[in-house]
Amino acid sequence: MIKKIFIFDTSWVFISQVITIAAGFLISVILGKFFGAATFGLFTMTLTIYTVASLVGEIGVPTAIVKYVAEFKEDKDKLNIFVSCGVINSAVFGAIVGSILFVFSGVLASIFNMSELTELIRIIAFALPFLVVNDTLLGLLNGLREMKAYSFRNIIRAILLIGFVILFIYFGLGIKGAVLALLFSEIGTLFLLIFISRNYFNFIIQDYVKTTKEIVKFGSQLFLANAIYMVNIYTDTLLVGYFLTDKDVGIYAIAIAFSKSFLVIPGAISTVVYPVISEYNNKGQYKAIEVLINKSIKYSLVILSTLGILIIFFSEDIILLLFKPEFLLAITPLTILISGMIFFGAVSSVGTAFSGIGRPDLNFKLNIPVLFVNLGIDVVLIPIFGITGAAIGTAISLLLLTILSIIAFKRLLNVKIDILWHTKITATIVLVIVTFFVFKNDVNSYLLSGILFGIYIMTVIKFLFTKKDIEYFRGVIKEVFQKIFLKYKR
């Protein structure tokens, strides 16, 4: 079962998230390359406000729908009731939050001392209801574990987004065109999801008040957890916008873009893991949950650390290739953020486990102390060290959340994490990165990078991976290629 999940469901979600991240990164390159850091900073602030507002508009409904659909996928009547109710409430809540965002757009722009934000915020206010309904319909597909349909939506949205961005910029709309692309891509995606979802549920209005109370009760717990998490994630960007300039926001956004790409793999895994753990928990298969969590964290850490080391080694070349020289200031915060994201990303691959066992409140409780630590460090360090201070605060908060999550896994799920193994790989990662920065000015950087990367890979394979791990990876790769071959052969 576990191998099947990772090969089929996770691969579909992974591909869609890679395309989504690639589209977002391409937009960053276009705006950064042709308009500069200041304009890109405006877009980043708009997107940050849009993301936070969407969380408020959803109030946990889409994630709640995943849980209820996973539980009632054999009961078509209940599934129809919950999904229909979720769609109605999403449209209503999204419209309310969008209206509030539109009214207070000028206030938000003045807080960040960016007058150009007013018009951009008003555009995303119209996009908000579409985004919230889309996420709820995605919850239906996720709960049913229809990952092909789920992934297809993400791919189409990414294509629409990058297509509209290029089109509107071509016609001279500039940054306004990039934000308009968010609106039009959500509208187009909604029509696609309606077409797909009609095969999986029938829209009915029944027991609306009762069902709404149940969804909101569970969803509100998820909302509080996600709200704290989201504020924690975007605190650095918001405070950089408050203390510094739009140019600083743009430069820091490049470091953020690179670091967030590390959530693609764990994001794909967690999307699949959520309904699976919910199913295992309902059947009392707790040992299977432990195995799933351990494998997800272990393999995610190896993959993320490998990618992280490569990006850190070649960050200067990558930035000069894709952006203007002014973005080289992103290298230091990029290194700090990636170092924290490697470990956080590994644990976030199973971050939905608490919701899967019916304890979404734990995510909220874990994120509260992390939020205050992040806020405190950012407020102190950003005025002194600029965007580097923001990166330090975020990295420390991510590491703290990682530690707290591991402790919670142990106490609540009795999941035994191999601390010695994780200590060894952590020490190896730190040693390789520190060695690179110590000697990079004295030794040819490409030669040094090749040697250190080779040492890291050999260490992982020789001393940190067991024969079972290697056999498992070989089996997964073999089956993936077989599936691809059979697909195209047909």
**Residue that wins the pLDDT comparison between 172 and 71:** 172
Asked whether the CA dihedral 378, 361, 400, 457 is positive or negative, the reply is negative
Separation between Cα atoms, residue 157 and residue 196, nearest integer Å:
14
Does 230 have pLDDT greater than 90? no
pLDDT at 320: 87
User: In the structure encoding, which two tokens stand for residue 77, read together?
Assistant: 């009547």
Does 483 have pLDDT greater than 50? no
Does 336 have pLDDT greater than 60? yes
User: In the structure encoding, which two tokens stand for residue 476, read together?
Assistant: 């997964």
User: In the structure encoding, which two tokens stand for residue 347, read together?
Assistant: 């644990």
Residue 5 near residue 349, CB atoms below 8 Å:
no
Does 486 have pLDDT greater than 50? no
466 part of a folded domain = no
Separation between Cα atoms, residue 390 and residue 382, nearest integer Å:
6
Tally of domains within the chain: 1
358 part of a folded domain = yes
445 part of a folded domain = no
**Residue that wins the pLDDT comparison between 370 and 99:** 99
For residue 111, CA distances in Å to 39, 45, 50 come to 18, 12, 16
User: In the structure encoding, which two tokens stand for residue 110, read together?
Assistant: 């003045």
pLDDT at 475: 58
CA atoms within 13 A on the CB side of 396: 17
For residue 234, CA distances in Å to 181, 291, 374, 383 come to 22, 32, 10, 17
User: Average of pLDDT values for 189-203?
Assistant: 84
Rank 21-30, 175-184, 188-197 by mean pLDDT and report only the highest.
175-184
Residue 129 near residue 61, CB atoms below 8 Å:
no
Separation between Cα atoms, residue 340 and residue 379, nearest integer Å:
19
pLDDT at 325: 84
487 part of a folded domain = no
Asked whether the CA dihedral 270, 13, 91, 98 is positive or negative, the reply is positive
User: Average of pLDDT values for 405-425?
Assistant: 81
Q: Band the pLDDT of 194: cuts 50, 70, 90.
A: confident
Q: Band the pLDDT of 389: cuts 50, 70, 90.
A: very high
pLDDT at 360: 63
Separation between Cα atoms, residue 82 and residue 79, nearest integer Å:
5
pLDDT at 5: 46
User: Average of pLDDT values for 334-351?
Assistant: 86
Q: ∠4-6-8 over CA atoms, to 5°?
A: 65
User: Average of pLDDT values for 18-24?
Assistant: 77
Per-residue pLDDT reduced to its tens digit, 107-151: 989 988 888 889 999 999 999 999 999 988 888 887 776 767 777
207 part of a folded domain = yes
Separation between Cα atoms, residue 257 and residue 242, nearest integer Å:
20
Does 6 have pLDDT greater than 50? no
Separation between Cα atoms, residue 258 and residue 421, nearest integer Å:
27
pLDDT at 1: 46
User: In the structure encoding, which two tokens stand for residue 374, read together?
Assistant: 């992040």
485 part of a folded domain = no
149 part of a folded domain = yes
User: Average of pLDDT values for 223-242?
Assistant: 78
429 part of a folded domain = no
Residue holding tokens 């893991």? 273
Does 264 have pLDDT greater than 80? no
pLDDT at 48: 87
pLDDT at 470: 67
Exposure class string for 17-46: b at 16+ Cβ within 10 A, else e: bbbbbebbbbbbbbbbeebbbbbbbbbbbb
Domain of residue 260 covers 2-417
Asked whether the CA dihedral 438, 439, 445, 449 is positive or negative, the reply is negative
Q: Band the pLDDT of 268: cuts 50, 70, 90.
A: low
Question: 205: which residues sit within 8 A by CB, 6+ positions away?
Answer: 84, 85, 88
Residue 288 near residue 279, CB atoms below 8 Å:
no
